[in-house]
Amino acid sequence: MYDDIFNMDGINSMSFAMSNFADEDYFYNIVYEAIMRHPSYVILSESNLDRRVQIIGNMIVFFEEKEDYEKCYELFNIKKEIEEKC
């Protein structure tokens, strides 16, 4: 499942089609797990920088609203690494 979301080329755009996921909470958690398992796929990806930063930012906002600050912290650090590498 994680490989459907992230591959060696970066974020698979079809994975962000929310219509494939009935539960928004499930969607964000599965993407979070994929990022945490393979952060280099996101950090070193050649996909659009602004899009990667936007996606991570959206995830941070989602997890802030859930008061899941540990995930926010992890995502913030990945977002920071993305911005520093580019």
pLDDT score recorded for residue 56: 94
pLDDT score recorded for residue 1: 45
| pTM to 2 decimal places | 0.74
Q: How far is CA 66 from CA 26, 50, 62, in A?
A: 13, 24, 7
* 86 residues of the chain, pLDDT tens digit each: 444 555 444 445 445 454 455 588 988 999 999 999 999 999 998 889 999 999 999 999 999 999 999 999 999 999 999 999 87
Q: Which domain holds residue 59?
A: 2-85
Residues in the chain: 86
**Token pair listed for 43:** 């950090």
pLDDT score recorded for residue 21: 54
Domain count, the chain: 1
pLDDT score recorded for residue 40: 92
Cβ atoms 83, 53 nearer than 8 A: yes
- Picking from 40, 38, 80, the residue whose alpha carbon sits closest to that of residue 56 is 80
